[in-house]
Amino acid sequence: MSVETVDGGEKINIPPGSQPGEQIRLKGKGVPSVNGYGRGDQVVTLKIEIPRHLSAKQKDLLKQFES
Whether residue 2 is predicted with pLDDT greater than 80 in this model: the reply is yes
Predicted TM-score (pTM) of the model is 0.69
pLDDT tens for each residue of 5-44: 999 999 999 998 899 999 999 999 999 988 878 999 999 9
Evaluate the CA torsion angle 25, 47, 17, 7 in order and state its sign.
negative
Q: What is the model's pLDDT at position 49?
A: 86
Domain that holds residue 13: 2-66
> Which residues are registered as beta bridge partners of 43?
25
The alpha helices in 1-67, defined as continuous H runs, are 56-66
Domain count, the chain: 1
| Short-list 47, 21, 24, 20, CA closest to 11 | 24
